[in-house]
Structures are given as structure tokens and as C-alpha cells.
């Protein structure tokens, strides 16, 4: 389960992501700081974590229980910085290494000035019984966030939580939210009601007892400490802590009682893992769904771009405007086509005369350039539309806006997109020339072939590739004033019906393949960004499997 929790990254800002991230950290901390260490060492000393609100007197109480100053107290807040763990000298081996709280650096010796929440100061004292360790934690409501987070982490590492509050602050919301968490996780709790005025003792204690009962902690011991003057060492009178000290000492001395507390807390912690890990599994599933949604948006946008290009290649839209004008320059008017139809025997002289009069190379080049421009514009416009559609959708989806902010280039096409489009069309036109040369074979010396040449025939093949009538015979009405029909009839006269069908299909397929490669290159930018999120689609399943395994082991 620990491995599954660690692998459950939550990088996408879904609705409950922030809370799920905090829960994940707390779950990892409890596994690392308490559950796994305690399972490995059931006979280790009982760890009692002393926690509570700011100014509750925790450090003074701990030092008073021990009988010597072991934790710094004062009026400045926050007082407690490094956490202080007090243990009997013969128990040092249980705490010197990283068995518990592995994320905290170890310090030894007396109170220091340069301490921080990332440290754990170990204090060995003969005044504390073997089998018991006290840990003075930072304030649960500290103004320093790092202290608050550490306090919660330490409480999750406790076999026993000694909750310290005062007559003034015992009803505060923050500690009771943690007491609720202790109830849910089965943590053993004892309560210290500190600084109680003599005349308010019975009333405050009774009210606190009722609140604990309502919270499900009615069996928790309550120790009341009267408001007292501290001695010259800053310690409470012995009479005020003697009952508490005796209870802790007897707990340490009684192996069965100590084991009961440890096992109760451990059992509660393990029982709570299933629900918490299941909640985390739901959150990781939301992450996977969000990532899938972002990826689906990309796939849909570029599939639509592909479909639009395919439609634009067949609906005749490319055979209008400049292309139509250049085509008419290339073959002339409908009168020329009627002459062509009148007799094949006169074809060579008529065609040659027409092309000599106009200059064969120029019309071919201009028509090819017009086709190049039109095809490039078709491909580029739909590629740009796909990028804009992705950006528009991502801005409304969890995680998408963050990815766009991290890489603003994802809001449009790649920087070299236009040059790639131009190169694509040039390469495709070259492939069409090769198709014509390959198909020509022995026809290169025929009057029909010589009349137009390889370039002219290739241009006509490109032309019919962009017509819905490409490769068909009969009396279909051509696109853009019949230009595609004219080109088709000319090519059929040279290659035959079946060859024209095959050539136009190959040319069309090759162009679409190039377009698919281009759009796939564009898509990879988004795919790479999504992979960078490190969302594991199997994370939720691993967590649920771990939950089931823990349940089965119980």
C-alpha cells in the first residue's frame, strides 16, 4: 500500500486535488512514521506525543512530568521549534536511527538556539521510565505553517496522544478537528486540562468530559492541572503532575497495558488506511480521467482537421479561383476540348500548336504553383484551427490552463509549422511526378504524352485528385466549370480509365499520409506535455488492489 500511495501523483488541479494531496502526504507520513515502524517493532517503547494549541503549556508540562527542563518554554510564539523526544537512556537505540520519523534529522544534547521543524532533538533522561518516550510537538495552530504540518505529522506517529488544552481554549475548533481525526483513526488519547482556576474546576472538567463523550472519546483519561505558580526552574508543582506521571509510569511498567494501548492505536491506524487509500484512489482516478479528457480533446481536434482536409481535397473547393484561371490558361476554352474530342488523329498538331502559341512551360508552372498555394493553405488553415481548438478546450479543463501557461507555444501551431507545410506540398508534388514517370512507360513517345510532357500531366493528375469526380467516367458534371472533367478525359486518353483511377487514388492517399504525419508531429507536442504530468492511469487500480490486500491480511 505504501508503494501504491507514493506512486499516486496528483499533478492536475481537479476539484478536490488540493485536499487529496494533503491526504496523500498525511497517509505517507503515517505509514512511514508509525504503521510500518510499529509493525516491525511491536516491542519498541510506547511513544506519547504531547500536542495542543499555542500557549497551552505543553513544554512546561513535559519538563514538569520529567522533573527537569528538557524542552524550551516561553512567552514568544512559536516557542517549540525542533521537536523534542525524551527517552530513557537504555531506549536510545529505538530512536537514534530512522526507525520512526525518518524525515527528521537527529540532534542530541541540551536546548539549542538554532533549531527548526526539520529536526528531532533526542534527550536521554533517567527521570523517565524505560518503555516510554515523550515527544513535545509544535503547536497544532501555530502561526508557522511548517510547525502546524509537523504537529499533525507527529500526532499521526503517536501510540498515545496527550492532548493539552486550557480552561480558556478547550472548546477551540482546531484541536477538536484533530480529536475527531484521532477518533476516526483509532488513536489512543488522554487529555490534560491545564491552567484551570480553582473555582472553575468542576464546571470546566464536566463540560470537557461531555464534549469528549460526544466525540466518541468518553473512555479517554482526563488530567486537570490547577493554575499554579512555577518554581525557580520553571516547573509546575509536583502535586499537579504527580497523578499524570504515575499513570504514565504504570503504563510503561505494565507490558500488557502498554501493549494494549499500542495495539489499539495500531489496529485503528491500519483500519483507517483502507478508507483513506480508497478516497485517494478515487482522486487519482479523477486525475486519470482529466488527463484522458485533455488527450481526447487533442485527438478529436486533429481528427477533425484530417477530415476537413480530406473533404477539401474532394469537394472541388481547390479548383476555383486562381487554380481555375491557371487551368484555363493551360488548356484553353471549351472550344479546344471539342477539337480534342473531334479526332485523335489530329491531336498532336492541334495540341502542339496551342501550346507553342502560349508557351508550354509557363502555364504548367503557374498552374502547379496555384495548386501548391491552395493545398498548402488548406492544410495550414485546418492545422491552425486544430491548435486553436485544443487551446480553447484546454483552458476550460482541469490541468489544461496550467499546461498552456507552462508552454505558451501550445496555444498555436509549432514555430516551424508553415515551413513544414510548404515542404510537405513540394515533396508530394515531386511524388506525383514520379508516379507519372513510372506509369508512362512506353507511352513517353506518344503524341498525347509529348503534347503535355511529364510536368503538364502531373499537374492534371493533381487537379483531378482534388475533384469528387476523380477516377470516374461518364457524364458527371465537373467542378469549377468542368475543369476536372477536362483533365480527367485528357489523362484517360493517355493512360486509360483504370490507370487514371489508380494514379489519382495513390496521389490522394500519399497526400493524406503526409498530412497525417504533419498533424501527428503537431499532436506530439500536446502528448509530450501530458506525459510530463506523470499521471499514471493504473494508479487507482493499484491503490484499490492494495486496499483489498490489506483487508484480506487483516
Q: What is the pTM of this model?
A: 0.74
Given a cut of 60, whether residue 78 has pLDDT beyond it is no
Nine-digit cell at 302? 486533429
Query: How many Å separate Cα 345 from the centre of its chain?
Result: 72
Closest CA to 311 of 424, 460, 468: 468
Q: CA distances (Å), 524 to each of 295, 396, 543, in order? A: 11, 21, 30
Strand 160-166 versus strand 105-108 pairing type: unpaired
Residue 222's DSSP bridge partners are: 191
Given a cut of 60, whether residue 28 has pLDDT beyond it is yes
Structure confidence at residue 355 (pLDDT) = 41
CA distance 117 to 120: 8
The DSSP letter of residue 35 is I
- pLDDT-derived band at 510 (thresholds 50, 70, 90) equals very high
Structure confidence at residue 155 (pLDDT) = 87
The whole-number average pLDDT for the span 213-218 is 90
Top mean pLDDT of 149-158, 316-325, 448-457, 464-473 is at 149-158
Given a cut of 60, whether residue 368 has pLDDT beyond it is yes
Given a cut of 80, whether residue 487 has pLDDT beyond it is no
Residue 466's DSSP bridge partners are: none
Q: Judge contact between 410 and 529, C-beta under 8 A.
A: yes
| Rounded (10°) angle between helices 539-553 and 255-312 | 150
CA distance 71 to 60: 7
Amino acid at each position: 500500500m505504501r508503494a501504491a500511495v507514493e506512486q499516486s501523483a496528483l499533478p492536475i488541479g481537479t476539484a478536490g486535488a488540493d485536499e487529496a494531496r494533503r491526504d496523500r502526504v498525511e497517509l505517507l507520513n503515517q505509514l512511514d512514521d508509525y504503521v510500518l515502524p510499529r509493525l516491525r517493532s511491536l516491542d519498541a517503547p510506547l511513544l506519547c506525543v504531547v500536542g495542543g494549541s499555542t500557549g497551552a503549556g505543553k513544554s512546561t508540562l513535559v519538563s514538569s512530568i520529567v522533573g527537569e527542563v528538557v524542552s524550551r518554554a516561553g512567552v514568544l510564539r512559536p516557542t517549540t521549534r525542533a521537536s523534542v523526544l525524551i527517552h530513557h537512556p537504555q531506549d536510545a537505540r529505538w530512536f537514534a536511527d530512522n526507525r520512526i520519523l525518518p524525515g527528521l534529522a537527529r540532534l542530541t544534547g541540551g536546548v539549542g538556539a538554532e533549531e527548526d521543524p526539520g529536526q528531532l532533538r533526542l534527550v536521554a533522561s533517567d527521570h523517565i521510565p524505560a518503555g516510554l518516550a515523550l515527544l513535545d510537538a509544535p503547536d497544532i495552530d501555530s502561526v508557522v505553517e511548517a510547525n502546524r504540518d509537523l504537529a499533525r505529522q507527529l500526532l499521526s506517529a503517536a501510540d498515545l496522544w496527550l492532548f493539552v488544552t486550557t480552561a480558556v481554549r478547550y472548546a477551540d475548533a482546531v484541536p477538536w478537528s484533530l480529536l475527531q481525526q484521532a477518533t476516526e483513526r483509532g488513536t489512543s488519547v488522554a487529555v490534560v486540562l491545564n491552567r484551570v482556576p480553582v473555582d472553575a474546576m468542576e464546571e470546566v472538567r464536566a463540560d470537557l468530559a461531555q464534549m469528549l463523550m460526544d466525540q466518541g472519546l468518553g473512555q479517554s483519561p482526563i488530567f486537570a492541572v490547577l493554575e499554579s505558580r512555577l518554581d525557580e526552574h520553571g516547573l509546575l508543582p509536583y502535586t499537579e503532575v504527580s497523578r499524570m506521571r504515575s499513570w504514565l509510569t504504570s503504563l510503561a511498567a505494565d507490558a500488557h497495558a502498554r501493549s494494549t494501548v499500542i495495539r489499539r492505536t495500531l489496529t485503528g491506524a491500519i483500519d483507517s488506511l483502507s478508507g483513506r487509500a480508497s478516497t485517494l484512489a478515487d482522486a487519482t482516478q479523477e486525475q486519470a480521467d482529466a488527463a484522458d479528457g485533455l488527450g481526447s480533446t487533442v485527438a478529436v481536434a486533429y481528427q477533425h482537421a484530417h477530415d476537413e482536409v480530406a473533404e477539401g481535397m474532394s469537394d472541388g473547393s481547390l479548383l476555383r479561383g486562381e487554380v481555375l484561371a491557371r487551368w484555363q490558361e493551360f488548356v484553353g476554352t471549351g472550344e479546344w476540348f471539342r477539337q480534342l474530342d473531334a479526332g485523335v488523329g489530329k491531336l498532336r498538331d492541334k495540341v502542339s500548336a496551342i501550346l507553342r502559341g502560349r508557351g508550354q512551360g509557363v502555364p504548367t508552372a503557374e498552374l502547379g504553383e496555384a495548386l501548391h498555394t491552395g493545398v498548402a493553405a488548406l492544410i495550414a488553415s485546418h492545422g491552425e484551427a486544430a491548435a486553436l481548438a485544443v487551446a480553447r478546450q484546454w483552458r476550460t479543463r482541469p490541468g489544461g490552463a496550467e499546461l498552456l501557461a507552462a508552454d505558451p507555444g501550445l496555444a498555436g501551431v509549432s514555430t516551424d509549422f508553415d515551413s513544414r507545410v510548404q515542404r510537405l506540398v513540394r515533396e508530394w508534388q515531386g511524388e506525383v511526378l514520379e508516379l507519372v514517370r513510372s506509369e508512362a512507360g512506353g507511352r513517353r513517345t506518344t503524341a498525347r504524352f509529348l503534347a503535355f510532357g511529364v510536368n503538364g500531366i502531373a499537374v492534371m493528375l493533381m487537379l483531378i485528385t482534388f475533384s469528387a469526380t476523380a477516377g470516374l467516367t461518364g457524364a458527371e458534371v465537373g467542378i469549377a466549370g468542368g475543369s476536372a472533367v477536362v483533365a480527367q478525359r485528357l489523362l484517360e486518353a493517355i493512360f486509360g480509365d483504370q490507370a487514371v483511377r489508380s494514379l489519382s487514388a495513390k496521389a490522394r492517399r500519399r497526400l493524406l499520409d503526409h498530412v497525417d504525419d504533419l498533424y501527428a508531429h503537431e499532436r506530439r507536442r500536446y502528448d509530450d506535455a501530458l506525459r510530463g504530468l506523470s499521471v499514471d492511469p493504473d494508479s487507482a487500480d493499484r491503490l484499490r488492489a492494495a486496499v483489498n490486500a490489506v483487508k484480506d491480511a487483516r
